[in-house]
Every structure is written in structure tokens, then in C-alpha cells.
Amino acid sequence: MDHPSLLALFEAYLTAERRASLHTVVAYTTDVTQLIDYLSEQIPEKIATAVTGQDLRGWMMALAKEGLSHRSINRKMAALRAFYAFLATKGLMVERPTDVLKSLKGKKRLPIFFQEKELLAFLDQYLFPVNFPGLRDRLILELLYGTGMRLAELVALCQTDINLENGTVKVLGKRDKARMIPFPKPLIQLITAYIREKEKLDHPPTPQLIVTNTGKPAYPMFIYRVVKKYLAPTIRSSQHSPHIFRHTFATHLLDKGADLQAIKDLLGHASLSATQIYTHNSLTRLKEIFKKAHPRAEES
């Protein structure tokens, strides 16, 4: 079978059987097309169904020499694994050459977070409009910082998940694992005012807590726009996204002496290793304080 036919079948497989998103379908078919182009240039006698693990490793090495990041290379490996798994299920290959491929490990980047003084000054001093959009936008920012919940968790949050009496919110995290997160007391008044205004909207009610101006459930890009609208002009940071609030929540808790296990539970991490990356930020901050404060810190 020729390469165009294989690609067409693979695309159909991703769409119909894997039910992959359009983004994934485009990315994976592009990656496989790049592999085919590489084979035609470097190993013209080879077709995609006859490659070996060594051939694929050669392509990975070539990509690395070109300066492609380990994340991009790993993404291409994932595309190849899906492609050759597809060929195997269709009986077009017996062995999978991708079995010898191992994902590359790169240097972990420290989480970006907002500085405490800057963020608190903004939240305390910014004059949000005293109407439904203003209350909602402020609630989005306060919930993200006050609970550390994920973007998807905020979008899916229902009004019934909020317990105003004991100041907690029930969040449904990854793998449908529920957890309870306490939230700051000032949020009780804000949530109450927001719900009051939300009920005045002339639109069919929805169970989701956060809704748009037209009363429809909020979606990820909507939350992104709200965060960027308020923080990009006011808070110094290389990024202004909802997820930065999650990093900020964890870092600020750790800076104040919170137990790492407790932070893990609040974030909904499956293991403590995922939470430990925040200790690097706190250690960096402590080193800076030490250099400024200790009399012998600058001695050679």
C-alpha cells in the first residue's frame, strides 16, 4: 500500500475509532508525513511499513541535531506509536518498530508564579465593575488563587459544589477523583453576591457556577481571556494564564510553611513527586533572602 493511502487510513482511524481531537489528528498525520519525507530523502529504499527501530532512532537523532526540543520529539514518538499500533491492528505489520523508542527526559522547568505582594495588591485594590460581569470576573480570579483548582475543574464547577456554611468547595479532578478544598472567608460574600446577580439573568439557569454574560456555561478560552484581560496589564510575569494561579497557590502556601502533603491533597496530585517541584521555587527564594540578610553570605 502506498504512503498516501496509509495516511488516509490513519487519519480515518484517528477520527472515527480513536475519536481524537482535530488538533491531534492534524499533529499526528503531520508527524507521520515528516517521517515519510525523511525516509524518501535518507533511506529511499525503505517504505513506512518496512522501517526498523534503528531507522526511527535515526530520525529522532536527526531531529535532535536540528535543535528540536525533547517535548516536540516525544510528541512525534507518540504519533509514531499510534501510527504503528494502527498498522499492527490492521495486519499491515507484524512487529512494531516503535517498541525500541524511549521518551526523552528533559530538564524540568520551575513553575512560574505571581509574586505575592503584586497579586494581593491587585486583588485588594482593583476596582471591578459592580455588576454581573465584574463580580464574575473577580470570582474567577479569586477562586483560582484561593483554591488552586485546575482550569477544567473551574469550568465544570457547579453551584451545588459550593458549601457556604463551612467554606469548602467540592472539586472533581482527574480520573473523576473528588476532593474538598477550603476557600478564604472573604469569598463567601463574593460568591453570595455573584449568585444573587446570576439568578437575575434573563436566561435559562445552568448548574455550572461560572457562566458567560449570556448565561451559558463558561469554557476554557473564556477563562483564559478573563485572566489575561486583568493580569497582563498589571502583574509582571512571562505568562498570564489560569494555570499560573495554581502554581502561585502552591508556592505561596509552601512559602508560608504549609505541609507538602497537605498541598498535594489540595492540588489533587496523585503522588507527592508532582508536588515537590514547588519546593525548588521556595528554596530559590530562601537563598535570595539568605544572600541579602546573612552577614557572611557574600564572602568569598
- Which of 38, 145, 230, 278 is labelled catalytic? 278
Domain count, the chain: 2
Q: Which of 76, 136, 138, 150 is catalytic?
A: 150
- CATH code for the domain of 165: 1.10.443.10
3-state helix vs strand vs coil in the chain, percent to 5: 60, 5, 35
3-class SS of residue 217: strand
Cβ proximity of 169 and 147 under 8 Å: yes
Tracing cell 482527574 back to the chain, one arrives at 174
Grid coordinates representing 2? 502506498
DSSP 3-state of 48: helix
What range does the domain containing 234 cover?
116-292
75 catalytic, yes or no? Answer: no
Last residue of a domain, one of 73, 100, 127: 100
What is residue 48's predicted lDDT score, i.e. its pLDDT?
A: 83
CB 155 within 8 A of CB 148: no
Taking each helix axis as running N to C, give the angle between helix 260-267 and helix 242-255, from 0 to 180 degrees, rounded to the nearest 10: 160
- Spell out the per-residue pLDDT of the chain, length 300, in tens: 677 788 899 999 999 888 888 888 999 999 999 998 998 888 888 788 888 889 999 999 888 888 888 888 899 999 999 999 998 888 888 788 888 888 877 656 667 889 999 999 999 999 999 899 999 999 999 999 999 999 999 999 999 999 999 999 999 988 889 999 999 998 999 999 999 999 998 888 899 999 999 999 999 999 999 999 999 999 988 888 999 999 999 999 988 888 899 999 999 998 888 888 887 666 666 666 556 665 666 654
- Residue 203 annotated in active site: no
CATH classification of the domain holding 9: 1.10.150.130
| Residue 219 DSSP class | -
> Is 18 labeled as catalytic in the residue annotation?
no
The verdict on whether 150 is a catalytic residue reads yes
Answering whether pTM is above 0.85, one says no
Last residue in a domain, options 40, 70, 100: 100
Same domain, 8 and 79: yes
74 and 207 assigned to the same domain: no
Q: Which of 71, 174, 177, 291 is catalytic?
A: 174
Exposure class string for 174-189: b at 16+ Cβ within 10 A, else e? eeeeeeebebeeebee
Out of 246, 247, 252, 264, which one is annotated catalytic?
246
286 within some domain: yes
The most distant pair of C-alpha atoms in the chain lies apart, rounded to whole Å, by 74
